[in-house]
Amino acid sequence: MATAFLDRLKAGDVLVADGATGTNLQARGLAFGKAPEEWLFEQPEQIRQLHRDFVAAGANILLTCTFGGTPLRLEHVGMADKVVEVNRTAVALAREAIAGREVLIAGSLGPTGQLLEPLGPLSEADCAGAFAAQARALSEAGADLLVIETQFDLAEATNAIRGARSVTTRPLVVSFSYDMGQRTMMGLEPGQVARELASLGVDVVGVNCGKSLEDNLANLKAARAATTLPIWMKPNAGLPTMSGVSESHYDVTPDMMGAAAQQWVASGANICGGCCGTSPEHLRHIAQAAALERQA
């Protein structure tokens, strides 16, 4: 299946990745501030059901519930000694949910949450080692590809790639979040990021999370102009508004997300999905729009 991912992209297929993990689990009862990875053990059926709902909506790529699955992130929830167990369990639950369907399992590797030296406390060796530990666990558990996502700093992304490549040959997607609109919080522009990632030998470059759909469309177009590599497009359903301290509401409707997805494919996206706020219903519209645009 790992080879199938790259072969399908080379053949010109437009693939549909899933929607949000964290915000959907919160809507299903995950307490605000609780790590989704804890539900791998406490509420495994909720994880499986979310995967099933995305497959029913049209996803042919599922991301594992491991965004915070490096030892550095798991340390904050007292699970630093369970890196292998967390990542293997997440892959197993996703595999159980697809029940033999031709759906790819993508291991999700989120940012460390720390800045590298000299701006922060994290050394390059520790950063690469953290991603290597998670990438090894995901690959050995049977993930078809790896997605290093929501990056904002080329130093961390470079060490994440180095760590992952040291332990696995799985296809590698690296996706940045332009949460300042059309720049990352470190001031990076999507064209610059796409060129740098291509030089580091990744298989797919991506845009995920971020701010508005309009900004992320501009980011997609800039990345497309800078590289011939396939592009992963998985933006937020807009920005959240808060009700109290624990409930967030996203302003982009499923119809709006579907209309945007047509533009993504027309602008050169090869994989389409959604990040925070993207429900299975949002994803259904994305999948339908991607199919229509392929036929156009």
pLDDT score recorded for residue 63? 98
pLDDT score recorded for residue 247? 72
Pick the closest to residue 168 from 193, 143, 151 (CA basis): 143
pLDDT score recorded for residue 245? 61
Q: For the chain, what percent of residues have pLDDT higher than 70?
A: 96
Nearest 5°: phi and psi at 232?
-95, 125
pLDDT score recorded for residue 248? 77
Confidence of residue 294 (pLDDT cuts 50, 70, 90): low
- Paired with 249 in beta bridges are 241
Q: Which has the higher per-residue pLDDT, 100 or 265?
A: 265
pLDDT exceeds cutoff 90 at 67 = yes
pLDDT exceeds cutoff 90 at 243 = no
Helix, strand or coil, per DSSP, at residue 182: coil
Ordered structural domains, the chain, with CATH: 2-295 (3.20.20.330)
pLDDT score recorded for residue 244? 65
Interval 37-53 mean pLDDT: 98
Confidence of residue 2 (pLDDT cuts 50, 70, 90): low
- Say how many residues make up the chain: 296
pLDDT score recorded for residue 56? 98
pLDDT exceeds cutoff 70 at 69 = yes
Least confident range from 20-24, 39-43, 240-244: namely 240-244
What is the spatial distance between Cα 292 and Cα 210, in angstroms, rounded to a whole number?
25
pLDDT score recorded for residue 240? 80
pLDDT tens digits for range 249-282: 899 999 999 999 999 999 999 999 999 999 999 9
Give the CA angle between residues 8, 10, 100 to the nearest 5°. Answer: 10
* DSSP character at residue 167: T
Q: For the chain, what percent of residues have pLDDT higher than 90?
A: 91
- Give me the numbers of helices (H) and strands (E) for the chain, helices first please: 12, 10
Left, alpha or beta for 150 (phi > 0: left; psi -120 to 50: alpha)? left
User: Three-state SS across 106-147?
Assistant: EEEECCCCCCECCCCCECHHHHHHHHHHHHHHHHHHCCCEEE
What is the spatial distance between Cα 18 and Cα 24, in angstroms, rounded to a whole number?
11
Mean pLDDT of the chain: 95
pLDDT exceeds cutoff 90 at 119 = yes
pLDDT exceeds cutoff 80 at 105 = yes
pLDDT score recorded for residue 100? 87
Interval 223-235 mean pLDDT: 98
pLDDT tens digits for range 169-199: 999 999 999 999 999 999 999 999 999 999 9
Q: Is 270 exposed, middle or buried (0-12, 13-18, 19+ CB in 10 A)?
A: buried
- What is this structure's pTM? 0.96
Token pair in block for residue 209: 């999370």
pLDDT exceeds cutoff 70 at 296 = no
What is the spatial distance between Cα 182 and Cα 259, in angstroms, rounded to a whole number?
21
Name the strand (E) or helix (H) holding 61.
strand 61-63
- Paired with 233 in beta bridges are 207, 272
